[in-house]
Amino acid sequence: MKPEHIEPFFATLAAANPEPETELEYKSDFELLCAVLLSAQATDVSVNRATRTLFAAASTPAQMLALGLEGLQSHIQSIGLYRSKARHLLQSCQMLIERHGGQVPRTRAELEALPGVGRKTANVVLNVAFGEPTLAVDTHVFRLANRTGLAPGRTPLQVEQGLLARIPPAYLRHAHHWLILHGRYVCRARAPLCSQCQVAAWCDTGAQMGAQTGARKRAQPEPLPRP
């Protein structure tokens, strides 16, 4: 993607959705942390379905610990990798109580010290809960960054660093959600909806497809005149 295309790319996404939000359901920073931790290799829909009953039963670290391992697993067993996630979540709850007074910490280092919390999860919490201009690179963002040419990279960290370097500061606060939602619903892994894409004009792949379509049209023979 050419540098001059980045501004209109994000301006268009912003105009269509000025205040994007996560599709995970939560009512507190702690619930957000839990939901994001549980969402690894799972859909937001499946996580929301499980956390509706979980958060009704336990919405604080202390209440979560009181459920115990089996009690927690019973709420989230519909989510992939639920056994390891339950173990990590309870360990994180213990650390939140012992080290942070039961509150979700506001620094990357403290968040990543929690069991089951990696860079992506920390970025989501920093961005959504605390308004930090961070970018969590999930499969949707990784695919979109490479497909559009916005920030090509071989690893999530390379893509994250490329995005932070190229996205104008005015758009960094919400860029994470614009890219995720666009990748989830428009720039899909299979059968991307390029014909319906509002930002195709600035996308490397969209531009290539447009050029190919134009070339095919030009290559078609003109219809013979009627006698």
Residue 214 scores a pLDDT above 70: no
Cβ neighbours of 8 (radius 10 Å): 12
Question: How large is the average pLDDT for residues 52-59?
Answer: 97
Band of residue 207 on the pLDDT scale cut at 50, 70, 90: low
Compute the mean pLDDT over every residue in the chain, rounded to the nearest whole number. Answer: 91
Question: How large is the average pLDDT for residues 65-73?
Answer: 97
Helix (H, G, I), strand (E, B) or coil at 82: helix
Burial 108-134 (b: 16+ CB within 10 A, else e): bebbeebebbebbbbbbbbbbbeebeb
The predicted pLDDT at position 37 comes to 96
The model's pTM: 0.87
Q: Is the dihedral of CA 122, 145, 185, 85 positive or negative?
A: negative
Token pair recorded at residue 29:
């920073």
Closest by CA position to 207, among listed 151, 166, 150, 159? 150
- Report how far residue 207's alpha carbon sits from residue 184's, in angstroms, rounded to the nearest whole number: 20
- Report how far residue 176's alpha carbon sits from residue 162's, in angstroms, rounded to the nearest whole number: 13
- Report how far residue 107's alpha carbon sits from residue 112's, in angstroms, rounded to the nearest whole number: 9
- Report how far residue 221's alpha carbon sits from residue 123's, in angstroms, rounded to the nearest whole number: 54
Residues in the chain: 227
Question: Which residues are the active-site residues?
Answer: 120, 138
- Tell me the pLDDT tens digit for each residue of 129-176: 999 999 999 999 999 999 999 999 999 999 999 999 999 999 999 999
Token pair recorded at residue 50:
């499980």
Which domains, and CATH codes, for the chain? 3-18+135-212 (1.10.1670.10), 29-128 (1.10.340.30)
On whether the CB atoms of residues 142 and 155 are closer than 8 A, the answer is no
Band of residue 117 on the pLDDT scale cut at 50, 70, 90: very high
Q: Which residue has the tokens 């390379």?
A: 158
